[in-house]
Amino acid sequence: MAGQAHYTSAPPSADAPHGGFRFTAVSPAARPALETLRPLTGYPRPPGADRHHPFPVAFAYDRPDDGAAVLTRTRCTGQDYTGRWGNHFCHVLYATPDELAGLRPVELWDTPHWAPAPAQDDGHDLPDLAQLLPGSAVGPDRVGRLLAGLGVPGLRLLERLLTAALRAMAGEGPGATLVSADADRVVDWIAAVSYTLPAGLAARLTFTTYTARPEDDRRHLTGTGPETADRAAGPVFHLDRPAGDGCPEPSPTARFLAGALGTGRLDVLDAVAELWDAGPADGVEAGVRRLRAGCALLAPDGDTGALGRKDARLGDLVRAIAELRPREAGLAPERLRDAVARHLADRTAPLGDVPAALAPLPGPYRSAVLTGLLTALEATAGPRTAALDTQTLASLASLVDEAPEAFAAAPATALHVLRRAPGEPRPAALRILRLFREGLWEETETYEALRDLVRAEEPERAPRPLWRRGPARERD
């Protein structure tokens, strides 16, 4: 059951001998959390505001340290019980993360749960809520209309905003400030960010649609008005004219996700969510890392963010794959193989100890990554030479017995490894040649090169064919 509470300035009552700001009505589930909720109920007035102009509604979502999910809707109500101007009413919804399952918090912007005014029965219990119901104003269609109306500038803004939000969620920088005189416009862009993310990660995105003190706000996304925009400490996004002042360049993860949303490729976002959901229910920072890893595997052009540097090592990618828990995610090894081949294309850094890097993965996925690696190396000779230092050559040669088929499918790379790896190449070469004998490999030129390599290792033995190809495939 989700709890709820009302907070406003009210006269003394039987349970509250002193008047002023206090909780005037509370449900049973929220009562134990009042000290956690109290700091989230404030409403600083805009500078220079007067009673003749309406104040923005502040709709906020927080995840306090106790792990609860807290939604608040706060608005100015004019005079308090003494006639003093400046009262406000905050309605609080207090839930466990499980009670938000399947919802993005921004969808409760217009939930029917919000009360228009404090309950009249001051001091009496409010009912707990059996289920949190989304409103009707926020959904993917609303975001689709927003992006369609703005075109390319809107998509670029979403890329930058999503980049800033993910950095803030990962603890890599301050949150972003969204500036508009219209709170509905702020809701538009909070929704746009929310719908690019898996629902479970969107449930960790904290925000407020309005505050007059953006410099003091620590949420991931903070809305404010034009009159207080210059107070913001982090990147500022002026929503009434899509632009970002001092905003980060779009990250590859943000480009990938924003592009999928902007083109209506919800299947891509669903695929990212499936991978993300397969991981453990850990903290928000780990959740962002898992999102980046999932995008790294699914990005069709290999645009993989921090994992996509040309100097990235194989171990970086494998750790990201292991974090996704591919077996639990139902990730097909073939899909992983192709993703790794894209990711490692044109890499120039030495790959290091390949068996050690692959060790965290289950067997089928270890083989898939190795095959993707060999496929990438097979594509071009330049990166192959740069990536295969002495350590990598030796470690790859040690894997031939484990996965001869993978090496047979990359004949140029197999020859490169076996010719240059330190130690005795004959046993590994023989293992690949056995595939030729068994009819599983028919690339004659590489077969003959491997045969010559084996013979070169036997200088004192008379030359003889290793195997005679034919119907019987008998050894000479």
Per-residue pLDDT at 18 = 78
Residue the block writes with tokens 């083109």: 263
Q: Are 255 and 249 in contact (CB under 8 A)?
A: no
Per-residue pLDDT at 382 = 67
- 461 three-state secondary structure: coil
Per-residue pLDDT at 340 = 82
pTM over 0.85: no
Would you list the domain boundaries of the chain? 3-108, 139-308
Cα separations in angstroms, 283 against 146, 194, 275: 31, 17, 16
- Each of the 476 residues of the chain gets a pLDDT tens digit; together they read 899 999 999 888 777 777 889 999 999 999 999 999 999 999 988 876 666 677 899 999 999 976 799 999 999 988 888 888 878 999 999 999 889 988 999 999 999 999 999 987 666 789 999 999 999 999 999 999 999 999 999 999 999 999 999 999 999 999 999 999 888 999 999 999 999 999 999 999 999 999 999 999 999 999 999 999 999 988 999 998 765 556 788 998 999 999 999 888 888 888 888 878 877 777 898 889 888 888 877 775 544 444 444 445 587 778 777 877 788 767 778 878 887 887 777 666 778 889 998 998 888 899 999 999 998 888 876 667 777 888 888 888 888 778 877 887 887 888 788 777 776 555 656 666 665 555 545 556 566 666 665 555 554 444 444 333 334 333 33
Find the helix packing angle between 140-150 and 152-169, rounded to 10°: 130
Q: Are 221 and 105 in contact (CB under 8 A)?
A: no
> Residue 425: which of 435, 412, 415, 411 has the closest Cα?
415
- Return the DSSP state at 311: T
Burial class (CB in 10 A: 0-12, 13-18, 19+), 382: exposed
Separation of alpha carbons 312 and 322, rounded Å: 16
**Which tokens belong to 104?**
């993005």
**Which tokens belong to 190?**
């909070």
Per-residue pLDDT at 79 = 81
Separation of alpha carbons 315 and 283, rounded Å: 23
- 213 three-state secondary structure: coil
Separation of alpha carbons 448 and 432, rounded Å: 12
Return the amino acid letter for 393: L
Q: Checking DSSP bridges between strand 69-79 and strand 85-95, what pairing results, if any?
A: antiparallel
Residue the block writes with tokens 């308090």: 80
Q: How many CB atoms lie within 10 A of CB 295?
A: 26
Separation of alpha carbons 331 and 274, rounded Å: 9
Q: Are 164 and 235 in contact (CB under 8 A)?
A: yes
Beta bridge partners of 4: 93
